[in-house]
Structure 1
Amino acid sequence: MPHILAIDQGTTSSRAILFDGDMTIAHVAQEEFTQIYPQSGWVEHDPEEIWDSVVSVCSAVVTKADDIAAIGITNQRETTIVWDRETGKPIHNAIVWQDRRTADFCEDLKAEGFEAEITARTGLLADPYFSATKVRYILQAVEGAQEKADAGQLLFGTVDSFLIWRMTNGKRHVTDATNAARTMLYNIREGAWDEVICKRLGIPMSMLPEVLDCAADFGTTDMFGPELPILGVAGDQQAATIGQACFEPGMLKSTYGTGCFALLNTGDELVQSQNRMLGTIAYQLDGKTTYALEGSIFIAGAVVQWLRDGLGIIKDAKETQALAETADPSVELYLVPAFTGLGAPYWDADARGAVFGLTRNAGPAEFARAALESVGFQTRDLLDAMKADWNGAAEGTLRVDGGMSASNWAMQFLADVIGAKVDRPKVLETTALGAAWLAGMRAGVYPSQAEFAATWALDRQFTPQLNDADKNRRYAGWKDAIRRTKS
């Protein structure tokens, strides 16, 4: 059977993964690219470097098979690119989802009462995390950009849109519903770009891409030989939700990459959160929208990178588990990794990282343990808020994926602190798998939704081992650390 090419364009690297007819990984290529930090709290990427990395990894794997049927794309969400319609050249570096430079403007929106409009229309909050205020910033920061945008000369897109524009030689300016839903410009109730929000932010609607289903005709590309159709697109967290086969209301997944993102399938009900969770689109197939509650943690795997690159106490991420196992149990260190602010459910753009509980006995092992535990604690923050928001969020099993999910120690602590079973699948590349399935299903190569769900296979289940008293005591310490950290 034919192969499917999945492009997984992430926050720190681009990957191309070739899946065979059985949805098994056949070949992988990966390439990191530069992280740019112009100021504290600002994060950028060079769009040309992203593009070059995607071309490089795709070129490395397409030669491995001569029967590629389609391409699926998944991407870092919210990251914002504005480019010239005629030349295809970006007018500014990509502003990454982690970037907090528009925090003051978001506070202005809240002060004038406009956040309620944003939430009602998009399911989101007025926060720098989303694309809308990043677009506005670029139009104001680049000389003449607003005038060019008003004249229809500029285009906006999340990374998927930019890649497709380039891959189709400028023939298609498109995105899918899941990426559109993360821009803070898309009305997820009506399924259309929102004129009221665009007008308030000064963003011409001519800049915005056409929005399609997750499995649709996004165009064709001849960059890698014979023309290949692009048939599947989803933002990385929604692609992981699909890859984890969370197709039934109440099913929950959490992905541990640079950040951590938990999505709870709420079916055809768009839940209006009372606990600062996000209402969003889980996926859209055959014109039918499935909604989700989402909680976003900005720093998960990135805290381990900080141990390596910032503190220099490890050389490889895998070392954290061995260190955590040797940590002094009498030292209860709490590390709040608010390097770029706090995400859900706090949404504090001005908060910065802090460490509590330091003693003379605290060393690399205790820091490693605290780093891993911070991810578990933050996940519980999200799940508690979801349970308060929606009756369908029962004490169910959490499906996990992403790089950190490979750590048995971290996943056991996660099960302990949330007090629920944690299931790790055999296929950890669920984000790329979700994109591949969308394209392969559309191409007629891969099975239907129900048949695909039946192929989900368990690698290991982690069950809670910590008693309630210890679990609640440790979590109370975390909540106190959060209270002290918030600005």
Structure 2
Amino acid sequence: MTSLSGSTPGGQKQALEHLPHGITETPAELAHNWFVGSIDQGTTSSRFLIFNGAGDPVAMHQLEFENLYPKSGWHEQDPLALLRSVEECIEGCVKKFEEKGGDRKRIKAVGITNQRETTVVWDKETGEPLGNAVVWPDTRTTALVRELKEREGAGELLELCGLPLSTYPSSVKLLWLLQNDEGVKRAYDEGRLAFGTVDSWLIYRLNGGAEAERQVHVTDGTNASRTMFMNLRTLQYDEKLLNFFGIDQGKIQLPQIVPSSDTEAFGKIASGALAGVPITGCLGDQSSALVGQCGFSPGQAKNTYGTGCFLLYNVGTEPVISKNGLLATVAYDFGKGRKPVYALEGSIAVAGSGVKFLVDNLGFVEDPSRVSELAESVEDSAGLVFVTAFSGLFAPYWIDDAQGTLFGMTQYTTKAHIARATLEATCFQTRAILKAMEEDSGHKLERIAVDGGLSNSDVCMQAQADIAQIPVDRPAMRETTALGAAVAAGLAVGVWNELEELNDVNKVGRRMFMPKMPKQKAENMFQKWNQAVEMSRGWVREQDESN
């Protein structure tokens, strides 16, 4: 059984099936080989993995933590709970590593990959959080975004930072907190406010926080490019962007932007099983998955089916500003004289979380892994279309006032049809993103590499190949997000020296799903999906938000 709902303990079982039962190197080989640790901090769980020099995971520990939903549209997490989960995962994984014959002294470095856009604010004097983190799908900022779109200069933001104004980026979350949280506003006015995404928060606290001799407050370009504060071309904070949101750098401590791979910038772990081990890599989770899929050449793409769904397309060393509703983002910046690499991105808010919704909210089955079996029990969705707009619709639509809507229900409709329509919703949105990428880049993708919890579902991956009419390439080892962070860390300390050394990583046991559905049928289904999207608009009204 495998998990479909994202980074959950069920997904851990699937991944562990591919881990070696013991450290296979002889003592002589171990003397010349190093291992790299990877913190993978996701939306629903945290994990720590240890990879060998061949890019194979040899140990892993994973913990879920609580997500909080205090009001409709609000999504929060306790920053201290995130930190504790990471620290416990490191301890648990190192213990498993040593039980297999490993030596913690051979873990040369640690990389971090994290959920992006999630916004954490803390008191820079005490190092303590000033409330819960506002998580990336949170939509409390819907009315604020409408106001910002009317503000002078709004039309110039996309060209500068690559992101459209929406509820998604960190900027609007921070602005909402400054306007609505007295403790945050007071800290800002008194110059005590520190801001960061999850990577910055974890790096700060893992280095010892306010008690440390050297307080490390940094981020990398892949994460900073999700804030709307960073200029996409200079990879530095932009005065025009900060001024648009009314952010005074004299009153707030923003993390320093550094390369994604660096021997010194991220400091080192201050305590615990890996005390003294340097942190040398940092990548936002979707960039990390692209690196883990070895998508180092322009034209290569990956799609991660996690809690949300994120398709990244490598466009090379010059950013491409989308004219079709996609995001321009930093793919990775490995420093050492290398140019940063950019990507086009299509973001879908609901993927594995749609499966989780069927399990937790509607009680369709007892375990997310069973949703795929339920969907596979019927030949098709019987005309049912499920627009899973639980947080509005992201790329390429950017419809903030859409809500989840089921179309085409009849007395014939069963749980199985709804389960299949839930999986197909992600596939339809992926097709829309692929179409936009083709128009922006002028090139049609030949295949798409996939990973993430929902990619475990054969029926979903076959539906993706059919609906998008494109081959879907799935690796046997699907811990590609964690692998990407390990690659960034390993490149900094010489575990790998050049990207070419990684060409053979994770190539064994890949499976290709080929389109089987007639092209015209796929086109007809996609047109019906677009009709449903249009009909899902306008459900969120200002009067609703005040209730």
What is residue 478 of structure 2 aligned with on the other side? 428
How far is 1:46 from its partner?
A: 0.7
| 1:394 and 2:458 aligned | no
Matches within 5 A, 1:135-154: 135-154=174-193
CA distance in 1, matches of 2:255, 2:176: 19
Equivalents in 2 of 1:198, 1:92: separation in Å?
A: 23
Q: Which moved more, 1:266-275 or 1:7-16?
A: 266-275
Mapping of residues 178-189 of structure 1, within 5 Å: 178-189=222-233
Match of 2:345 among 294, 299, 305: 294
**Residue equivalent to 1:75:** 114
Partner-residue secondary structure (3-state), 1:221: coil
Aligned to 1:414: 464
- From 399, 407, 413, the equivalent of 1:348 is 399
> Shift in Å at residue 241 of structure 1?
0.5
The Cα shift of 1:314 comes to: 1.2
Q: Structure 2 residue aligned with 1:239, among 276, 283, 288?
A: 288
| 2:172 corresponds to 1:133 | yes
Is the counterpart of residue 277 in structure 1 residue 277 in structure 2? Answer: no
Mapped to 1, the partners of 2:52 and 2:73 lie a distance apart of: 41
Q: Do residues 258 (structure 1) and 307 (structure 2) align?
A: yes
Whether 1:357 and 2:403 are equivalent positions in the alignment is: no
Q: Structure 1: which amino acid aligns with 2:175?
A: R
Distance 1:93 1:328, change over 3 A: same
- In the alignment, does 2:80 pair up with 1:48? yes
Report which stretch shifted further, 145-154 or 409-418: 145-154
| Residue 270 of structure 2 corresponds to residue 222 of structure 1 | yes
- Match for 1:471: what amino acid? A
CA distance in 2, matches of 1:330, 1:145: 47
| TM-score, normalised with respect to structure 1 | 0.97
| SS, match of residue 140 in structure 2 | coil
CA distance in 1, matches of 2:503, 2:228: 31
The correspondence of residues 15-94 of structure 1 with structure 2, limited to 5 A, is: 15-63=47-95, 64=97, 65-66=103-104, 67-94=106-133
Partner of 2:153: 114
Does the Cα contact within 8 Å between 2:381 and 2:421 map onto a contact in 1?
no
Question: The residue matched to 1:400 in structure 2 has which SS?
Answer: strand
Q: Using the alignment, how far apart are the partners of 1:86 and 1:482 within structure 2?
A: 47
Q: Deviations over 1:419-465 (max 9, x none)?
A: 11110112201000000111112111235211213324151001111
Q: Which residue of 2 aligns with 1:202?
A: 246
Q: Name the CA distance, whole Å, in 2 between partners of 1:25 and 1:395.
A: 29
Three-state SS of the structure 1 residue aligned to 2:521 is helix
Does 371-380 or 195-204 show the bigger shift? 195-204
Letter of the 1:322 counterpart: E
Which piece of structure 1 moves more, 231-240 or 220-229? 220-229
| One-letter amino acid of the counterpart of residue 228, structure 2 | M
- State yes or no: 1:172 paired with 2:216: yes
- Secondary structure of 1:42 counterpart: coil
Give the Å deviation of 1:147.
4.5
Query: What code does the residue aligned with 2:269 have?
Result: T
Q: What do the CA deviations read for 1:116-160 (whole angstroms, capped 9, x no partner)?
A: 221111000111110011111222222253343244311100001
Equivalent residue letter for 1:235: G
Mapped contact 2:54–2:505 kept (Cα < 8 A): no
> Segments of 4+ in structure 1 off by > 6 A?
none
CA distance in structure 1 between the aligned counterparts of 2:512 and 2:180, rounded to whole angstroms: 50
Q: Deviations over 1:77-118 (max 9, x none)?
A: 000000001111111210000011112121112123433221
The TM-score, its normalising length taken from structure 2, stands at: 0.87
Partner of 1:369: 420
Instruction: Specify the alignment match of 1:462 in structure 2.
Output: 513
User: Which residue of 1 is the match for residue 27 of structure 2?
Assistant: none
Mapped partners of 1:91, 1:276: distance in 2? 34
Partner of 2:199: 160
Please, which of 361, 365, 385 is the counterpart of residue 334 of structure 1? Answer: 385
Matched letter for residue 188 of structure 1:
L
Amino-acid identity (%): 43
Q: Residues 144 and 358 from structure 1, CA distance in 2 versus in 1: closer, same or farther, beyond 3 angstroms?
A: closer
How many residues are matched?
486
Q: Hey, what's the Cα distance between the residues in 2 that align with 1:192 and 1:109?
A: 22
Instruction: Give the match's secondary structure for 1:479.
Output: helix
* One-letter identity of the residue aligned with 2:286: Q
Unpaired runs of 5+ residues, structure 1, are none
RMSD: 1.4
